Amino acid sequence: MEEKINQPSKIPLHQHISDWIKQEIREKRLHIDDKIPSENELAQQFSVSRLTVRRALQTLEQENLIFRSQGLGAFIKAPISLKRMVNLNSFNEDLSQAGITPSNDIIFEGLVLPPPHIRSLLGIEDQIKVLKIDRIRFGSARPFAFDKTWIPAFYGQLIVDSDLSKRSIFELLEKEYDIIIEKGCQRFDAAIADEELASHLDVPVNTPLLVIKRLIYTNSGKILYYQQRYLRTDRFSYEMILERSSDSLQFANGVGVKEFLPVFDPKADEFSLVV
């Protein structure tokens, strides 16, 4: 990684550097999560200013090839899995469709008394316990997300003794118990990684995270579970395709979206979207 690359003089200096790093990635001398040389090291290697190096790194960051962590340096970024918001899928299905191998690490599984706002969401009475499952969700052995899931006792009893290390809750209930999962309501928020989340997701404390809060319903209208999913934004993103029409917003494939609205509510725990 110390040799210089001679480029035609018409190519800007900063592109020499970005092209060299891309070549290192292509030829597998730099791998996902590897730290790249510092600004000073690159400046000396290519005999350029740190400003030129910084511009090269900005280009790579815009192209989603690297990410920078304050005080630590720049690192090779994993390809982001883009999820089109059309169907209600499990996380395992999302990753599998993107060609990524899913797996789960169960951190906690047991009966708990849920907090009041979650009890209200699930429509259960005081002092009624629910099954709580905390899982790290991996993609090709790398942590992508951390899930906290609260499941009413009726469905929880079907799950409690099952191995969820490689199966999703959707798959288990649909295939083993013929429970039809019909719809879900999702809300997107932002969060900062505390020590627990940082440890599970292998990120520094205070790293920004995407949070998806969702209620999942069966075809009989019963709530299957409430879930909070904390996602690493350097490894997972959502993409939505919309068409403009006179009566509604629609995806390009014709699936209608009746409403997709931002929620400006200081009481973030009061999940108030209606399906």
In this predicted model, what pLDDT tens digit does every residue of 82-113 receive, in sequence order?
554 456 778 888 788 777 888 999 999 999 99
For residue 71, is it within any domain?
A: yes
For residue 234, is it within any domain?
A: yes
212 and 133 in a common domain:
yes
Q: How many domains does the chain have?
A: 2
196 and 150 in a common domain:
yes
- Please tell me the predicted confidence (pLDDT) of residue 87: 66
Work out the burial of residue 105: count CB atoms within 10 Å of its CB; fewer than 13 is exposed, 13-18 middle, 19 or more buried: middle
- Please tell me the predicted confidence (pLDDT) of residue 246: 52
140 and 70 in a common domain:
no
Domain that holds residue 61: 13-76
The answer to whether residues 78 and 86 touch, using CB atoms and an 8 Å cutoff, is: no
Tokens read off for 192: 């900062």
For residue 216, is it within any domain?
A: yes
Q: pTM of the full predicted structure?
A: 0.63
- Please tell me the predicted confidence (pLDDT) of residue 10: 72
CATH code, 227: 3.40.1410.10
99 and 179 in a common domain:
yes
- The 8-class DSSP code of residue 118 comes to H
Select from 187, 209, 207 the least CA-distant residue to 265.
Answer: 187
Task: For helices 13-26 and 39-46, give the axis angle rounded to 10 degrees.
Answer: 110
- The 8-class DSSP code of residue 176 comes to H
The answer to whether residues 197 and 230 touch, using CB atoms and an 8 Å cutoff, is: yes
Q: pLDDT below 50 — which residues of the chain? A: 1-5, 7-8, 84-85, 248-275
52 and 173 in a common domain:
no
- Please tell me the predicted confidence (pLDDT) of residue 166: 81
